[in-house]
Amino acid sequence: VLAEPAPPAPTGEFALDGAASVPSTSRARMPAESKLMAPQQPSILPADQMQPQPENRDRIEDFKTNPVHAALEDPVSTFSIDVDTASYSFVRGSLKQGTLPQADTVRVEEMINYFPYDWKGPESASTPFNSTVSVMPTPWNTQTRLMHVAIKGFDVKPTEQPKANLVFLIDVSGSMDEPDKLPLLKSAFRLLVSQLKADDTISIVTYAGDAGTVLEPTKASEKDKILSAIDNLTPGGSTAGEAGIKEAYRLAQKSFVKDGVNRVMLATDGDFNVGQTDDDDLKRLIESERKTGVFLSVFGFGRGNLNDQMMQTIAQNGNGTAAYIDTLAEAEKVLVEDASSTLFTIAKDVKIQVEFNPNKVSEYRLIGYETRALNREDFNNDRVDAGDIGSGHSVTAIYEITPKGSGGEQIDQLRYGQASVDNGGVANADEYAFVKIRYKLPNEDVSKLITTPVTSANEISSFDQASTDQRFSVAVAAFGQKLRDEDATAKFGYDKIMEIATAARGADPFGYRAEFLSLVRLASALGGNR
């Protein structure tokens, strides 16, 4: 479906490094009470010239950091994979505006999975992804180890990609009248249109007060017609998101492509403030449409009215992804460089369940994925929705484990519990854990199972011997925990994170890792630990 990508030229409105062409005084208009931002420095203007700050109504989902579990008492961990990347953009925006991010905007797994990694992929499309598990020393704790689970999706060649039927569902409410909202959105979707093949189909629905069809299903070969429809979008009115979603799904069904890509792409700055506003109502609506084979992804723009909680609800229940686009460079990453993984799902409802062997592991904790936790019984229940993997996508999960007898235990043994575990020499005595992954092919409703025992054969003796990608992903995990002010990394300085990330920068063709290093420096300069 996608033509071979060519680097897009910067538009007149946006520089490719991402900064909107806006006066610096208008770029960071965040009030002191913002949930996303720490209090700003006092204005240098005289009091009689100071302007009131716009109200910040960002909605962020609250969550608590995953606790440490005793393997003897609670040996099983279950969660849905997560390929969303919105959190990284939140963090970057906050740091570049001169403030440490609010803790709940930092979802560590989304920061880790923001970056492309060269994990080993599957040999053929018959198995949609491959998993690689390693056990290595923990840089921030000599008494624990990291169990690193890396998944790589099959990379579908452009010539083998199916036809695409895309519906752009665009918020043109009055609040979108900001340089980093509708103007950036229009530039972003122009980039995507340039990547589609002639026989792909595009429709455009807008919503503001009520929903309207701006462009009926149109072949991508009529590029001028599509771009003209995008260019003519103007903001105004309140946000009738419910009507817009229903109309978008109607158009998607009208041009439905069997065995193809059928996806609604919602672009918005925030709340659905007219119509079906409750997250549970939205969830039910999207779940019902998902069953028809039309998936939904959501892209957030701007700050001050962003409903991250709604974005997560839509993405997690619509078999889609959530990304936050704050710059043209980020739009290029999501809609051009990562277009295959953004659009083409190769496996859906992907769940991971890990059973730890208490004979080898005393304690464990999952780093991130707090909002993706599942009940143990959900793993085998094919009715329970989970995350999806796109073409060529990489997904990483990291556990911090405490080997038995290491002296790093945080939880006392139960007085009346089993004092020790003795496997009596059975075959699995050497196993750290048993990793199970369930998934469904995009057009199937029955899951398949992949299992991997984790043994001493998976061990890496020293952290420096881990691959470049493994070490870099661990540096990102440390950074995310540091920003959340977690106890695990309280004594692990930003300088140590910089040291690991610099040594593990490796090939960086798009400069993502170089940018990460600059964010670590900014966080350190802004005050280190909270």
pLDDT in tens, 277-291: 566 777 787 888 888
More confident residue, 88 or 320: 88
What is the pLDDT at residue 309? 74
Q: 4 is written with which tokens?
A: 């071979």
Work out the angle between the directed axes of helices 241-254 and 279-290 (0-180°, nearest 10). 0
Rounded Cα distance between 3 and 158, Å, is: 7
pLDDT confidence of 45, banded at 50, 70, 90?
very low
pLDDT confidence of 339, banded at 50, 70, 90?
confident
What is the pLDDT at residue 443? 86
Listed residue (528, 501, 511, 526) closest to 116, CA to CA: 511
Question: What ranges do the domains of the chain cover?
Answer: 69-156+346-525, 158-343
pLDDT confidence of 253, banded at 50, 70, 90?
very high
What is the pLDDT at residue 317? 78
CB 363 within 8 A of CB 357: no
Rounded Cα distance between 341 and 195, Å, is: 13
Question: Which residues have a Cβ under 8 Å from the Cβ of 491 and sit 6 or more positions away?
Answer: 140
158-343 shares the fold of 69-156+346-525: no
CB 346 within 8 A of CB 384: no
What is the pLDDT at residue 319? 76
Among 65-74, 259-268, 355-364, the minimum mean pLDDT is found in: 259-268
Pairing of strands 345-356, 295-301: unpaired
What is the pLDDT at residue 456? 96
What is the pLDDT at residue 102? 92
SS3 content of the chain, % helix, strand, coil (to 5): 30, 25, 45
Which CATH number, 3.40.50.300, 3.40.50.410, 3.20.20.450, 3.30.1950.10, labels domain 158-343?
3.40.50.410
Examine the pLDDT at 511 and tell me if it is beyond 70: yes
What is the pLDDT at residue 7? 44
More confident residue, 28 or 312: 312
Question: Which residues have a Cβ under 8 Å from the Cβ of 488 and sit 6 or more positions away?
Answer: 140, 141, 365, 400, 481
Rounded Cα distance between 399 and 303, Å, is: 32
pLDDT confidence of 426, banded at 50, 70, 90?
low
Q: What is the CATH number of domain 69-156+346-525?
A: 2.60.40.1230
Q: Report the pLDDT averaged over residues 437-449.
A: 94
Examine the pLDDT at 120 and tell me if it is beyond 90: yes
DSSP, collapsed to helix, strand or coil, labels residue 129 as strand
User: What's the chain's average pLDDT?
Assistant: 85
Alpha-helix runs per DSSP H in 54-181:
86-96, 108-112
Which amino acid would we find at residue 488?
A
More confident residue, 458 or 243: 458
Among 4-13, 274-283, 300-309, 429-438, the minimum mean pLDDT is found in: 4-13
